[in-house]
Every structure is written in structure tokens, then in C-alpha cells.
Structure 1
Amino acid sequence: MALPNQHLTPQEVAFICESELITIFPRQRLDALNLISINTRPLVPPQRAEVPLWLAVFLRKQKRCNIVPPDWLTVENLDRLEKEESGSAAFSQMPWRWMEVAEILLDACPDDLINPSEIALHIRALRELRQAKIRAGLADQINSSYIKINNLGLMEVCEIRPWVGKVVDGLRKIEGETGSAAARKRKEEADEDEDMYDDDL
């Protein structure tokens, strides 16, 4: 039997993301739902409601609602973030699950987004810019104790964690071997000093 993977896969991260709440416009009435993780209130058009993303996608596929995209998922905002990202060494502030939410909404309800093709291009450009920064940051920041890169999203952390873990383990092993060699050398020098002291006596 294979041991379970210690790290979340991108598919698992996307699945977890589906529990995020998102705003919808119901197209028809729906009674309250008592779900395991949340109880929804009755859906009454045209009142907005917040529901888990998976439920919003399910209702959207049945044409029973329209999904209201998050405020940050617009061409104007993504263009601003892209300029920030390319003009600074630091990572711009993004929602924790920005990649997963964008991918799900672009796939499930492109008609509810304004200029979905441009949004997709900006998301791809942001991802490439941030991946380049991650690679550069790892070269500068990584050591055997910790790594510090601020403002990464969950999917970005998930993607680099297995590789970073292996590198950090390798550095610890190298430092451990170096430390052991240095300790042996110190012990040998101390033994030599002790022998010389005994000879003098």
C-alpha cells in the first residue's frame, strides 16, 4: 500500500477552494438548504445571496443563478496588479485563493465576467511574473532553517512546497555533515592539546 502524499495536490487545493463563499443573483426561488458546512438562506430573486462556490457553480450550470465575480477579478484591477508585479521586487497583495477562484470562474461562468479572455491573459501573465519572482526569491532566501516569501497564494505555496522541502532537507543534511566534521576536528584538537599537556607534566 502506498503512503499518502504529505502535501496537497493542485486538485485538492482547487477542491478546498470550492467551499469559499461567493455572491450570486438567483434566477428562481430556492428554499433554504441545510448543508454540512453551512446553512443557506432562501434564495429569492433578485436579491443577492452568498453561497459556497461549488453550489454557485452547480446552480449556474442549471441556469438558476448568475455568479457575481469578486471585485478583484476585473481587467482594470488585474492590469494594475500586473504593473505592480512587474515594477517591484515584492509580491503584490492577492487573495489567498486567487488562482483557484479565477480558474473555476473562467471555466464555469465566462459569460458572467466582463472580457473573460482579457482576464485569462492577465491571470496567466500574473502567474508567470510571480513564478519568476518565486524562483529568484528562492535563490536569495532559502536556507536550512526557513524560507520567507510574503503574499503568496495557496496554490503557489502548494506548487513550490515539495521542491523547497527537498532543497531544505538537502541543505540540512549538508550542514549536518559539515557540523559533524567540524565537531570531530574540534575533538581531535582538544585531544591533542590534552596529550601535550600530559607530556609536559
Structure 2
Amino acid sequence: MALPSHHLTPQEVAFICESELITIVPRQRLGSLNLISIDTRPLVPPQRADVPLWLAVFLRKQKRCNIVPPDWMTVDNLERLVREESETSDFSKMPWRWMEVAEILLDTCAEDLISPSDIALHIRSLRELRQAKIRASMPEAINSAYIKINLGLMEICEVQPWVSKVMDGLRKIEGEAGSAAARKRREEGEDEDEDMEEEY
């Protein structure tokens, strides 16, 4: 029996994102962990270590570590990205899972971020600017075989159901137009055959 095919939901995308590695600064010693996806080395304060995001969040909630935000998630860098997005028609290059990582870190460890309210504001601005660009680029995407845009996984997840419906509608219209054209060609061919028969 085949599994039902469906688009990833935002919740599924966020769950997948939790396997991303992120840097932490342990507050307590912790032995190495043999996890399914990765074996962590012993955590020794104040040495930084890379662990899966879900583990970082778990340890942070227990106040056993501090999370080091990614380099791109600073106010200065986000301001630059917002400026780039607003000044050019191209999409800025963002990490594959930027939206999910930002949301999880803002929700779970805002205390570890410098100016979390500014970061949240810039993330929202980036999201709105990029969504506007996606909507503006749809006519070009529809009229071409493919379109190259730098989107993150969550952005693709959000736009995919809508784009799929639009593309299905266009295929249906093209199919109907093709059927009508074929019918017209058949009718014209039949008319020509009748004229030839009358001449003979």
C-alpha cells in the first residue's frame, strides 16, 4: 500500500529542522551521548560544542547550557539583509532553514540573543519582503520552464500548495485549449475532405 503523498506541513518542517547542529556553551559537565543521528563529545564548560538543535533546546530549558546564535542571526547582519531584500529584485542568500531556526531560538532562548526584539522585527521584515518577491515572481515562474530563487525550506513549504494549485489550473486550461484546437483542426480537415469530394 502506497503512502499518501502530501506537502510537508510547517510543523513537520520545524521538526526536521531540530536535527540542525547548533553551538552551545555548557554550564555543567556532561558525558558523551550516543544518539541515533550523532555521537556528542563530552560537554565541558566553557568549551563550545555543536549539538542538534533539539538537544540544545532541551539543555537550555534545564539551564544547563547557553545557545550561541548563528552568525547570520545578529542585528547588524539582519539589517543588511533587509536592506538588500528591499533594494534588489533578487533574493538574498539565506540558510536553508533560516525561518525555522530563528523562530525556535526566539521562542526558547531569547535571553541568549542580543536585542531579541530587534532580531524578531528584522526576521518578520525579511519574511514579508521575501513573500512579496515570491508573489511578484510567480507570473515569470508560470511562463517559464523553471525559475531560480534562493528560498528556505519553510518558504517553499508555505508557497508549494498554492503554486501546485495554480500550476494544476494552468495545465487544465492548456489541456482544454489544446483539445479545442485539435477539435478545430479535425473539423477543418473534414470540411476540406467534403470540398474535395464535391469537386470529384
User: Gaps spanning 5+ residues in structure 1: where?
Assistant: none
Give the aligned partner of residue 43 of structure 2.
Answer: 43
- Counterparts of 1:84-103 in structure 2, within 5 Å, are 84-103=84-103
CA drift at 1:22: 0.5
CA drift at 1:5: 6.5
Aligned-pair identity in percent equals 74
Residue 57 (structure 2) pairs with residue 66 (structure 1): no
User: Gaps spanning 5+ residues in structure 2: where?
Assistant: none
CA contact (8 A) 1:137 1:149 kept: no
CA contact (8 A) 1:29 1:44 kept: yes
Give the aligned partner of residue 129 of structure 1.
Answer: 129
Equivalent AA in structure 2 for residue 187 of structure 1: R
3-state DSSP of counterpart to 2:40: coil
CA contact (8 A) 2:97 2:153 kept: yes
Give the aligned partner of residue 177 of structure 2.
Answer: 178
- Counterparts of 1:156-175 in structure 2, within 5 Å, are 156-175=155-174
* Residues 16-56 of structure 1: CA deviation (Å, up to 9, x unaligned): 10000011111111111111111111111221111100000
CA contact (8 A) 2:140 2:147 kept: no
CA distance in 2, matches of 1:189, 1:6: 44
Q: What TM-score comes out, normalization by structure 2 length? A: 0.94
Q: What TM-score comes out, normalization by structure 1 length? A: 0.93
* Residues 35-85 of structure 1: CA deviation (Å, up to 9, x unaligned): 111111111122111110000000011111111110000000000000000
Equivalent AA in structure 1 for residue 40 of structure 2: T
CA drift at 1:149: 4.5
CA distance in 2, matches of 1:158, 1:100: 11
Give the aligned partner of residue 11 of structure 1.
Answer: 11
Count of residues in correspondence between the two structures: 198
CA distance in 2, matches of 1:34, 1:111: 29
What RMSD over aligned residues (CA atoms) do the two structures have, in Å? 1.5
Residue 81 (structure 2) pairs with residue 81 (structure 1): yes
Equivalent AA in structure 2 for residue 11 of structure 1: Q
CA drift at 1:111: 1.2
3-state DSSP of counterpart to 1:66: strand
CA drift at 1:106: 0.7
